[in-house]
Amino acid sequence: MTIGELSSFVFYSALAAGAVNNLSDNISDLQRGLGIVERLFEFMNMKSSILDNDNPIRINSVQKGISFNDVTFFYADKPALNNVSFSIEAGQAVSIVGPSGSGKSTILKLLLRFHDPSEGSITIDGQNIKTIALNDLRSLFGLVPQDHMIFSCSIMENILYGKPGAEYEEVRRAAISAYAMEFIDKLPDKFDTFVGKRGLKLSEGQKQRIIIARAILKNPQVLILDEATSALDYKSENLVQKALSKLMQNRTTIIITHRLSTALKTDKIIVINHGRVEEVGTHDSLMSKDGLYAKLVKI
Ligand SMILES: Nc1ncnc2c1ncn2[C@@H]1O[C@H](COP(=O)(O)OP(=O)(O)OP(=O)(O)O)[C@@H](O)[C@H]1O
């Protein structure tokens, strides 16, 4: 072998070794990718047990109200709600209060048809929600959840999630109503500021106001608030409360709350305990009854 042949051999064998090495890396990436795709397809092919009837009723508003009629519900075989009955008139604000694990979130899950009652029925304007088109039913509600759903994207996209395709001016008005514009205006990229996991860290109060702006943009028939227990500083709390009051105006509202100040402002308080409706009334009537609500208030 000449020196020239030897050096070409060494050079090409190094290239070949590198390529083979890359190939094995790529094959293992490919295998991992295929595994993930398989899981994605499995997920996409899952059938929900909650489906539309053959001829579902179409609705786009709540005219009279919502009623739970003797609703009983089991998770697997664990009872969560037992003969729950109450009604909410259109336009009313209602608080649901009760100890942890009493069944408050389950009530909301049944109302949004994430599960169907094991017994009894839930009606909107007298129609069993099982007969209403699922999309129409869920479109009636705007949810302000306890765990702030802020996505890893811009503030604009986070608010637009409430009404995809809304005009810039509409989004700006929603942000103003939610008292969010004052901090958005101070950011270098304003609405285009990237937030979430790898973006700007927002304070709890700021996140809440973005979520309220999202709900204002959606302008839902029924607002569902799952109030967070975490304490905000006085200024943020004040702004969040003001934004929420605006959102609740003239709107059917259901609030899961732990705050007396919120319950006080609502037309009706439903007290849930061990999956049953223990008391229903206004703050004053429940205080004079001196039952569970009065006890929770004292605590
Ligand atoms: N997915 C589930 N599977 C099984 N049991 C559940 C499930 N979700 C809730 N539960 C149980 O159902 C009961 C009612 O729970 P729910 O979440 O409705 O209570 P809650 O009043 O909203 O509580 P909290 O105030 O702590 O949020 C509890 O005993 C809970 O452990």
Two structure tokens written together for 265:
């402002």
**127: helix, strand or coil:** strand
C-alpha span between 111 and 272 (Å, rounded): 16
**256: helix, strand or coil:** strand
For residue 88, what is the domain's CATH number?
A: 3.40.50.300
Which residues contact residue 270 at a Cβ distance below 8 angstroms, ignoring those fewer than 6 apart? 86, 94, 95, 96, 97, 277, 279, 280
Test site for ligand 1: of 68, 81, 102, most ligand atoms within 8 A of the Cβ:
102
Do 255 and 132 have their domain in common? Answer: yes
Beta bridge partner(s), residue 222: 141, 252
C-alpha span between 299 and 294 (Å, rounded): 9
Test site for ligand 1: of 78, 96, 229, 255, most ligand atoms within 8 A of the Cβ:
78
pTM of the model: 0.79
If you measure from the C-alpha of residue 262 to the centroid of ligand 1, how many angstroms do you get, rounded to a whole number? 22
- Examine residue 60 and state whether it is found in any structural domain, yes or no: no
Q: What is the pLDDT along the chain (299 residues), one digit of tens a residue?
A: 899 999 999 999 999 999 998 998 899 999 999 999 999 999 999 988 888 888 899 998 899 999 999 999 999 888 899 999 999 999 899 999 888 888 998 999 999 999 999 999 999 999 999 999 999 999 999 888 777 788 888 899 999 998 888 898 999 988 988 888 888 888 888 888 888 765 567 887 888 888 888 988 998 999 998 876 555 666 767 777 777 787 788 889 999 887 777 788 888 999 999 999 999 998 888 888 888 888 888 88
Which residues have C-beta atoms less than 6 Å from ligand 1?
75, 78, 80, 98, 100-106
C-alpha span between 212 and 225 (Å, rounded): 10
If you measure from the C-alpha of residue 172 to the centroid of ligand 1, how many angstroms do you get, rounded to a whole number? 37
DSSP annotation of 98 reads -
Do 1 and 134 have their domain in common? Answer: no
ipTM of the complex: 0.96
| 207: number of Cβ within 10 Å | 21
If you measure from the C-alpha of residue 105 to the centroid of ligand 1, how many angstroms do you get, rounded to a whole number? 7
Do 74 and 121 have their domain in common? Answer: yes
If you measure from the C-alpha of residue 253 to the centroid of ligand 1, how many angstroms do you get, rounded to a whole number? 21
Do 133 and 102 have their domain in common? Answer: yes
Q: Find the domain containing 250 and state its range.
A: 65-140+220-298
Total domains in the fold of the chain: 2
Two structure tokens written together for 221:
């028939």
User: Nearest residue CA, atom 9 of ligand 1?
Assistant: 106
From the alpha carbon of 272, which atom of ligand 1 is closest? 21
Do 239 and 285 have their domain in common? Answer: yes
If you measure from the C-alpha of residue 297 to the centroid of ligand 1, how many angstroms do you get, rounded to a whole number? 22
- Examine residue 285 and state whether it is found in any structural domain, yes or no: yes
- Examine residue 181 and state whether it is found in any structural domain, yes or no: no
If you measure from the C-alpha of residue 78 to the centroid of ligand 1, how many angstroms do you get, rounded to a whole number? 10
Give the rounded distance of the alpha carbon of 204 from its chain centre. Answer: 16
Do 15 and 134 have their domain in common? Answer: no
- Examine residue 252 and state whether it is found in any structural domain, yes or no: yes
